[in-house]
Amino acid sequence: MKRVLLAVAFGLVLAAPAGASEERPTLAELESRVVCPTCETTIDQSRAPVANSLRRYIGERIAAGDSRSEIEAKLVADFGEAVLASPPRRGFTLLAWILPLLGLALGAVVVGSLAWRWSRGREPRAALAVPGGSGELEPELERRLDEELRRYDR
């Protein structure tokens, strides 16, 4: 029960900054989320004139009090969805978010099942067993083994 409460508290602590980021975005945050139409890198890495114009525009929108979603929606309306660094989580582009997770899950299942089969599929072998299968050593073989072990104990 303590773990559940701790997980809920941790989630609430993380939700507050995320909500604040939506309502009061920073230029640095949006620079990493917007792609320059000219050089196709995020505008925090681009020095193209279009990237500088986008930075100014975003700064004006932040000063006007727009939220992150509003600013991104205006940029998408002007430049199309290609201006966003990450694809939207809807429609066909939802596959870009789901397929890597499905691949990881499938890989984990395959590796887990192979490891389980490998560890369970091996039967223990009786070392130096009698050909009859009784599992005990022949007296002569046991005597020789004891002699060899005494030699290494010295």
Average model confidence (pLDDT) across the chain: 81
64, 43, 40, 69: which is closest to 55 by C-alpha? 43
pLDDT band at 11 (very low <50, low <70, confident <90, very high): low
Name the region of 57 (left: φ>0; alpha: ψ -120 to 50; beta: rest).
Answer: alpha
What pLDDT is stored for residue 18 in this prediction? Answer: 46
Give the pair of three-digit tokens for residue 87.
């694809």
What pLDDT is stored for residue 110 in this prediction? Answer: 96
The residue type of 137 is: L
What pLDDT is stored for residue 107 in this prediction? Answer: 96
The residue type of 26 is: T
d(CA 56, CA 33): 15
Could you read off the pLDDT of 22-57 as tens digits, one per residue?
778 888 999 999 998 888 889 999 899 999 999 999
Q: Is the pLDDT of residue 1 over 90?
A: no
Q: Is the pLDDT of residue 6 over 80?
A: no
What pLDDT is stored for residue 8 in this prediction? Answer: 59
Place of tokens 């899950």: 105
CA dihedral 75, 79, 83, 84 (to 10 degrees): 50
| Between residues 5 and 19, the one the model is more confident about | 5
Q: Is the pLDDT of residue 102 over 90?
A: yes
> pTM here?
0.51
What pLDDT is stored for residue 16 in this prediction? Answer: 47
Q: Is the pLDDT of residue 88 over 60?
A: yes
Domains with residue ranges and CATH for the chain: 2-86 (1.10.8.640), 94-153 (no CATH)
